[in-house]
C-alpha cells in the first residue's frame, strides 16, 4: 500500500515497486491523479489497485486495508503558522502513517508475513524554511519502526527524493 500515490514520491514509489514485481495498492485523496499512475503501472505490465481515501481518517484507512485483503500548502514563518495548517499536516503526514501501520499490523497474521515500507521526504533530515510542519512530520519515520511489537513483520523506513532511479 503506497499512500500519497497520485503524485511525487508516492507515485514514483508505486511505479518502481510495480515495475519490480510488487502488487501495489495506490492510495490518495484525489481520484484523477491515482488513475494516471494506475495507467502508467498497467502500461508497464504491473498489478495495481486504486483506493481513493483520506489516510488522515482511520476509518477510511481500515476500509482500504479491509478491501485489499499530497502535502502542499502555503508557506509560513513558524510564529505565523495557523493551527489548522499544523493540524492538517500532522493528520496527513503523521497520523496517517500510524493509522496505516495499525491497520496493516492487525492483518499481517492473515497473509503470512509482509513488509511495510515507510518512506519520508528527504526534508526529514534537512528541513526547509517556512515548512516546519512538513519537516516535523517526516522526522518520526526513523523512530516509528523501533516501536513495533516483535512479530514476523519487517519494516523499512527511509527518505528519498522524487524521481526515483533504479
2-54 per-position pLDDT tens digit: 999 999 999 999 999 899 888 889 999 999 999 999 999 999 998 888 999 99
Q: Which residue has the cell 499512500?
A: 3
Q: What is the pLDDT of residue 162?
A: 44
Question: Degrees (nearest 5) of the Cα angle 13, 98, 54?
Answer: 65
Domain boundaries, the chain: 2-160
d(CA 108, CA 69): 10
Q: How far is CA 18 from the centre of its chain?
A: 15
Q: Which residue has the cell 516509528?
A: 144
Pairing of strands 47-52, 115-121: unpaired
pTM, two decimals, is 0.55
Q: Would you mind telling me the total number of residues written for the chain in this entry?
A: 166
The torsion angles phi and psi of 56, rounded to 5 degrees, stand at -85, 0
CATH 3.40.50.720 fits 2-160, yes or no: yes
DSSP structure class, residue 57: S
95-148 per-position pLDDT tens digit: 888 888 888 777 776 776 666 777 776 666 666 666 677 777 776 666 666 666
Amino acid at each position: 500500500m503506497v499512500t500519497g500515490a497520485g503524485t511525487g514520491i508516492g507515485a514514483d514509489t508505486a511505479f518502481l515497486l510495480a515495475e519490480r514485481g510488487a502488487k501495489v495498492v495506490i492510495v490518495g485523496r484525489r481520484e484523477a491523479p491515482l488513475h494516471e499512475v494506475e495507467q502508467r503501472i498497467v502500461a508497464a505490465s504491473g498489478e495495481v489497485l486504486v483506493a481513493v481515501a483520506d489516510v488522515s481518517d482511520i476509518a477510511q484507512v481500515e476500509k482500504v486495508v479491509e478491501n485489499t485483503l499530497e502535502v502542499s500548502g502555503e508557506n509560513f514563518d513558524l510564529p505565523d503558522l495557523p493551527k489548522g495548517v499544523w493540524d492538517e499536516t500532522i493528520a496527513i503526514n503523521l497520523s496517517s502513517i500510524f493509522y496505516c501501520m495499525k491497520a496493516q499490523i492487525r492483518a499481517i497474521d492473515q497473509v503470512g508475513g509482509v513488509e511495510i515500507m515507510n518512506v519520508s521526504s528527504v526534508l526529514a533530515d534537512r528541513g526547509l524554511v517556512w515548512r516546519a510542519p512538513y519537516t516535523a512530520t517526516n522526522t518520526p519515520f526513523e523512530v516509528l519502526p523501533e516501536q513495533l511489537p516483535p512479530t514476523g513483520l519487517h519494516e523499512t523506513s527511509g527518505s528519498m527524493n522524487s524521481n526515483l532511479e533504479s
